[in-house]
Amino acid sequence: MTSLIVILAVVMVAGIGLVIFGMTRPAQTDAIGERLSQFTERTMTLDELELQQPFSQRVLIPMARAILAQLGKYGPKQSAERLKLNIQQAGNPGNITPMMFSGLRMALMMILLVAGGFVTFSQGMETPKALMYTGIMAVLGYLLPGMWLGRKIKQRKHNIVKALPDALDLLTISVEAGLAFDLALMRVADKWDNELSNEFKRVLTDTRLGRARRDALKDMAQRTGVEDVQTFTAAIIQAEQLGVSIGKILRIQSDQMRIRRRQRAEEAAHKAPIKMLIPMAFLIFPSLFIVILGPAVPRLMGSLGGL
């Protein structure tokens, strides 16, 4: 009996020793690795690189994208190609896909439907009126993402139109100085960091991957949806096919873009008085009348009352 107790004690001590040894061994390995990393650059694994990212990028954003993609399967699919083109013209905000955009519409519609139903029915409204307001909230939730996307498209087109004349000037100077068209395009892309320079970088990337230049330029014109960019790309493609000097074509395009920019500025200046008419008639003039005629109103009322 005594020998059995001694054997059990020895086994327990050995087990505790192995546990302690196993717990202290990784710490020694990490210490050695940290010391080696001071003298050598250690290659990080994919798991370590992923763990360095914040929790929102590792878990929340992928989960939200998966939920939106799943909800997008129940959305309308008639205008998928048009929706894809609109997302491209908006600059692909957040790397959203057409399926995810449809899911965003469905999710926002359901959220506002539930919220509108809870608010209207909790206020004790009549059932037809509550259903009407709830339906309006649901339709608004479905339309809001489209309105946001339209605003993004309009803003991006405005930025591209604004940056195009200066970019063409630099592109013309670079080509006339002796640079090839691709190198001049790279110089313009490195000069600025805006929507147009990003499109130029994508054209250069497509050509490096083996695509023809005319196809890359056509895709850029389709992604931007700007008439001036379409005119520019059509002129470059035609000059390349006919063997015309690209420098002359760029000089003509640059002069035309400057003329168009001046015409747009003149058009905006002519629209300014008409746009100022409404605030002047309904906001400024009534305030002036109150300030000027306000002190005379009590006297007029007193005189009329005396009569």
Residue 1 has pLDDT above 80, yes or no: no
Q: Is 75 helix (H, G, I), strand (E, B) or coil?
A: coil
Chain-centroid distance, C-alpha 126: 42
* Confidence at 267, pLDDT banded by 50, 70, 90: confident
* Confidence at 191, pLDDT banded by 50, 70, 90: confident
Q: How far apart are the first and last CA of the chain?
A: 129
In single-letter form, the type of residue at position 159 comes to N
For the chain, what's the residue count? 307
Q: CATH 1.20.81.30: which residues of the chain?
A: 159-261
Query: Using one digit for the tens of pLDDT, what is the confidence trace for 6-55?
Result: 465 555 555 555 545 544 454 444 566 566 565 555 566 666 566 666 65
pLDDT of res. 275: 82
> Would you tell me how many other CB atoms lie within 10 Å of the CB of residue 143?
13
* Confidence at 3, pLDDT banded by 50, 70, 90: low
Task: Select the more confidently predicted residue: 80 or 142.
Answer: 142
- How far is it, in rounded angstroms, from Cα 125 to Cα 4? 82
pLDDT of res. 292: 81
Averaging pLDDT over each range in 40-49, 51-60, 98-107, which range is the top one? 98-107
This prediction has a pTM of 0.68
Token pair belonging to 195: 């929507």
Are 229 and 160 within 8 A, CB to CB?
yes
Using the CB atoms, write b or e for 80-93: b if 16+ within 10 Å. Answer: eeebebbbebbbee
Helix residue spans in 177-245 (DSSP H): 181-191, 195-208, 213-224, 227-242
When the candidates are 3.40.50.2300, 3.40.50.1100, 2.120.10.30, 1.20.81.30, the CATH number that belongs to 159-261 is 1.20.81.30
Q: What is the DSSP letter of 72?
A: H
Residue 291 has pLDDT above 70, yes or no: yes
pLDDT of res. 43: 62
- Averaged pLDDT score across all residues of the chain: 78
Are 133 and 101 within 8 A, CB to CB?
no
User: Which residue is it, tokens 């306000």?
Assistant: 294
Question: Longest C-alpha distance within the chain, in Å?
Answer: 129
